[in-house]
Amino acid sequence: MTPDEAISQIAARAQPGKAAEMEAYHKAPRPYLGTANPEIDALCKDWRAVLTVGERVDLARGLWETNVHEGRIAAAKLLTQARLRPDEDAWALIRSWVPEFDAWAVADHACIAAQKRIMADLSRLDDVEAWTQSPLMWARRAALVATLPLAKLNFPKPDEIAARDRVLAWAAGYVPDRDWFIQKAIAWWLRDLSKHAPDRARAFLDEHGAGMKAFARKEAAQYLS
């Protein structure tokens, strides 16, 4: 399947008038087709069933390069799978997308794909750490969004605890950043962590909470008594 053929299938499921609504909502300057996420989900499920891992990576690369909103969403969904072997090319492709992030929806879908690859190999946090130093806000934010599964572990292994603490150190370094999306990402990570390791989340807030924006501090502590 070629990217053009995939885009045609996505476009065939578009809803009249929805493209203009999506463009106004997402604001990122790119083409919109007006196709809802459940329709893209269904198409990607069909494609994954017939494509090899290598073919999926190639199709995802081509769909991303179209710069069509739904094409980029589909590219991420094609690689959102816990068991993906081999996955080195998929991880390299996902990493190549990060410097191009420019809006939350596409970035979040790509980060969900990244989550699977990071949890499959925690050494990839070395790559993610470089994002924390990026001048691009979306890349810095991605370092937290792509590592969210570490906040949700009920019984983390020693290497997972070390990885979790590493990400929390990144979050601590983000606290002085006043950008709303960065503060929201810190709060999101801590809120999820508080459901599984409340003492660790509370300790972070005790040390760094005063430096967070009020809305982020409140959200982070939502489930802490």
Range of the domain at 157: 152-225
Looking at the structure, do residues 38 and 140 belong to the same domain, yes or no? yes
Q: How many domains does the chain have?
A: 2
Looking at the structure, do residues 74 and 169 belong to the same domain, yes or no? no
Looking at the structure, do residues 134 and 167 belong to the same domain, yes or no? no
Looking at the structure, do residues 86 and 157 belong to the same domain, yes or no? no
Query: What per-residue confidence (pLDDT) applies to 106?
Result: 97
Looking at the structure, do residues 122 and 50 belong to the same domain, yes or no? yes
Looking at the structure, do residues 85 and 130 belong to the same domain, yes or no? yes
Looking at the structure, do residues 200 and 108 belong to the same domain, yes or no? no
Looking at the structure, do residues 139 and 165 belong to the same domain, yes or no? no
What's the rounded Cα separation, in Å, for the pair 150 and 133?
20
For range 12-34, the mean pLDDT: 96
Question: For 92-136, what is each residue's pLDDT tens digit?
Answer: 999 999 999 999 999 999 999 999 999 999 999 999 999 999 999
By percentage, how much of the chain surpasses pLDDT 70? Answer: 100
Give the domain CATH number at 80. 1.25.10.90
Indicate the pTM of the whole model: 0.95
Looking at the structure, do residues 89 and 31 belong to the same domain, yes or no? yes
